[in-house]
Amino acid sequence: MYVLNYTVSDKAGNSSTATRIVTVSWTGNQLAGTYNVNDTCVINGSEVVDNYTITASASAGNTYRVTFPGLSGGFTGATFFDVLGAEFTIPEQKPNGASSQFKLSGSGTISKSGTSIIWRMNYTVTDTLTNVSTNCRATFTSI
């Protein structure tokens, strides 16, 4: 995010100031690609680590949306992420379909290290039948 301040004055001594905030954001096309994932969830008090590879795609019709199939190694459907600047949200959704008992939501940041794009996130999976929530954290690194 950049803050631009403009000031103008005339010969009579009148002046005015305006501020403009410019947010530079990643786009789905920039973020589409294959990622190595390190995913850690706390289940019954123990950390369960899952490492896998996943491929993101840009969402048609939404420049700032990225879709990941099979998030968390256990979902069969797609999960979408909404990107704004270097941050993103995972709006509450049911990746296995509307009738699924599991929903998830979360948020995180996107950065670049050398040629690698890195997503860092915290998300929660909730079983809507038992009302039990599982907290997870994941890092996606482009390959």
Reported as a single tens digit per residue, the pLDDT across 62-97 is 999 999 988 876 788 899 999 998 999 999 999 999
> If you average pLDDT over every residue of the chain, what do you get?
91
Is the CB of residue 122 less than 8 Å from the CB of residue 135?
yes
β 33-43/2-9 pair status: unpaired
Which pTM value belongs to this model?
0.80
